Chain A
Amino acid sequence: MTFSPELEAKFADLITHYPEGRQRAALIPMLMFGQEEVGSITNEFMAEVARRLGLTPMQVDEVVGYYSMLHKKPMGKYHVQVCTNVACMLRGGAELYDQACHKLGLGHKEVSADGLVSLEEVECMGACSWAPAVQVNFDFHHEVTADQLDTILEGLKK
């Protein structure tokens, strides 16, 4: 499997971040960055990463299943993530998630027919101090209100 020169450079650099013999520690960042380029975590991609880090494909599969930010099928161009963990839930996160479901007509990890938007109910993303939090791709939105959510979702255009 081949990647862009940029990604290859990224991978090569990542592997140097960990002590000799612990290269498997690069697994999660490699999957994250690779997912951006490949579009999702395909079997071929998992096998390639496994080969490079000296893991079995099964070991990679275990990790992919564990972390909700790693997706086996492609998500939308805009991936909307609403946190419903404790801090956010107490400040209306669950209601925000319901609102997003209705507005987008999507459920957990579902993608719109045109592939533009996808939705995910996520666990704590470390933004508890500004709960409730919503993330679109890598952009954070803090202390989100119902109106703000509408605006955010309406702004998701081609």
Chain B
Amino acid sequence: MALVNVTINGVPVQAENGALLIEVARQNGIEIPAFCYYEGMSLQAACRMCLVEVEKAPKLMAGCTLPVAEGMVVRTESEPVVKARKTTLEFLLSNHPLDCPVCDKGGECELQDMTFKYGVGESRFTEVKQHVPEKQWSPVVFYDAPRCILCYRCVRVCNEGMGVGALGISYRGVNAEIIPSHGDHLECDECGSCIDICPVGSLTSGIYRYKTRPWEMEHVGTVCTHCSNGCKTTLGVRNNEIIRGNNRDKSGINGEFLCVKGRYAFDFTQHPERLQTPLVRNEAGELEPASWSRALKLVAEKFKALAGPDFGVIGSTRTTNEENYLLQKFARTALGTHSIDHHRTGDVVTLIDALSGKTGQLAALEDLYTSKAVLVVASDLAQQHPLLAGKIRANFRHHKAAVYTVTPGPVREDKIARRSIRIAEADSLAGVEQLREALAKEAELVIVFGDAVQGDKVRQLVGFGESLGIPVKYIALVDYANSRGALDMGLLPGLAPGYHAAAPGRSLQQMLDDSSLAALWVVGANPLKGGRKLAASGAFVVVQDLFLTETAQCADVVLPAASAYEKNGTVTNVCGQVQRLKKGVETVGAKTDLAIIGLLARGMGVNLGKVDADAVFAEIAATVPGYNQLPMPVILTGGAAQTHPVNGGVPASLVPGLIASARDTLFTTGSLTRYSKILNEVLEKPGALYR
């Protein structure tokens, strides 16, 4: 695009013709204050805070909607501008309660900041302020109309960002206020984006309100532990308690995006049923509390005695890469077993096999935002992969991306889709075939597919992609925070870290069904959920978990584990992007799985090398194919780096096992969220569309 010359505050700058003045100024380090303007959202021009003086223009202009043109001379802080801003603020404050001392937003409020900056200490309004009581719209969303400056940010983020459209503005003049979708309450995604984006303290969060002042918290940047999308979240921590989660600094792959789980469902860490001491089954057959030293000693002795091919190990989809790596290393070396697996939720293994010999075909999250076309197969993305769905929506909004869906029922993505095919999951590929002509006309494509496409169907899908004659990338959807890391780190029978060959062993199902199993070590998983039974009734069972799960209840020894918010390490998201976890809080009595594995190794006299997250990660980076070229500075500074796994010559058919997604919706992820009080309160209609 052509460049034009613009002068801002006497400084000559160059900018793309037609770019918005507010953005041009920002890029050149000049702030034009704005309440209603919000990067990435549609323009509103509702607040008049961004007025600037433009030479030859008859009056002040709104910088948020003004496209720059050749020779434009702009002053952003001249006397008339400052006067206008003061007046705007005076107006905004005319009915504002000025209850900053008790307002959640105090200290982080844009209205407060601007009032401070422009020194609007006096008002000509002496009338009694209009007051209306605060309203609670849902367990997590509260609205205080008097504080609202009617900037429409919440309305737009809900419409455009979330694709929900649960908020509107109604009534008129001083009575104008935000209204929720269902008269007096909200039925929506409950994502809290509206609360975060509100420049003032008008929308407040059920879990955070009146709890703290922002400056009393420590801010810990880590990764959400609830799904595989891997949103970066900044935990607000005070007195060893997580008080809020958000990502206002837009660091990380998700920008500001968080769904209800990421923003609210960290309270499971504080649940009264959290295990805080090891439990050992006594002679009466009951689990009783034991000291760590006693429990570890017992387990180490037993492990030593039972090590061998009949030892089963089930790993987790939530533990870190380091923990997963160390677990399989320990199992395959010290425990002498090849029976290691985890709950698999998507067929990444076959995808990587099908892409053997090709590079650059595993999509990163960003591809969903930049690709000209996206095809969603057999997944209710907005419910099951909120961030991925959000990226596609943004791509549609900003780049008019062509979206296609092939799903059994209606999904939110239909609304932006060029074509939607309704077809049973089992027939997904036939549905995809119906789109052949349209897809072949696209310049490029990202195909996102759920667990209904597994085994040979993955190969057929890749074959279909190849036959289109355009560049195609793929995402095999998996459920949990580190599902991908579990696969990458070789928590699989027959596959070592990096999809390389290992000796064959039992799959998860085979372990549960094999009556000759001598021991079962379950780290952060719940394979006996839903009343499943372990065939080997005499096996020695050790479970590491946060809670006394169905599996833990059957264990001989239960070891209390730390959650993802309580540890350092790395996790890999659904697109194979590695990010760093940072410890936010601690739960007394619990240990990280890494520490537990290390202590057990020590108890058995096994040398696993240095057992700390950084050291193990260094080993991963040095030895695991796909992880060896990660740009470390990116990860260390809280960014995401994509791995490039390649199949190590092991046909996927040699990896036995079941692949089944739990089909969790926005309001469920089973094992963790059932211990989230707040998530259970907002459990309105799991799976509903809210379109």
Contact = CB atoms under 8 A, between A and B. Distances in A.
A64 B168 contact: no
Interface in A50-100: 56-59, 61-62, 64-66, 68
B170 interface: yes
Contacts of B171: 65-66
Nearest to A59: B168
Interface string B167-195: 11111100000010101000000000000
B167 A58 contact: yes
Q: Interface extent on B, as a size class?
A: 10 to 19
Dominant secondary structure of chain A at its interface with chain B: helix
B166 A58 contact: yes
A66 B167 contact: no
B170 A65 contact: yes
B165 interface: yes
B498 to A, nearest CB: 48
Contacts of A61: 168, 170, 179
Contacts of B165: 56, 58
Interface in B254-290: none
A56 B166 CA distance: 9
B172 A58 contact: no
Interface in A28-70: 43, 56-59, 61-62, 64-66, 68
B110 to A, nearest CB: 24
Nearest to B183: A43
Q: Interface extent on A, as a size class?
A: 10 to 19
Nearest to B167: A58
A64 B168 CA distance: 11
B691 to A, nearest CB: 8
Given A58-B181, A61-B179, A66 B168 contact: no
A43 B184 CA distance: 13
A65 B178 CA distance: 11
A43 B183 CA distance: 9
Nearest to A67: B172
A43 B171 CA distance: 17
A61 B169 CA distance: 9
Interface of A: 43, 56-59, 61-62, 64-66, 68
Interface of B: 165-172, 179, 181, 183
Q: Which 5 residue pairs are nearest across A and B when measured between Cβ atoms?
A: A65-B170, A62-B168, A58-B168, A65-B171, A56-B165
Given A56-B165, A58-B165, A66-B172, 10 more contacts: A58-B181, A59-B168, A61-B168, A61-B170, A61-B179, A62-B168, A62-B170, A62-B179, A64-B170, A66-B171
19 contacts: A57-B181, A58-B165, A58-B167, A58-B168, A58-B181, A59-B168, A61-B168, A61-B170, A62-B168, A62-B169, A62-B170, A62-B179, A64-B170, A65-B171, A65-B179, A66-B170, A66-B171, A66-B172, A68-B172
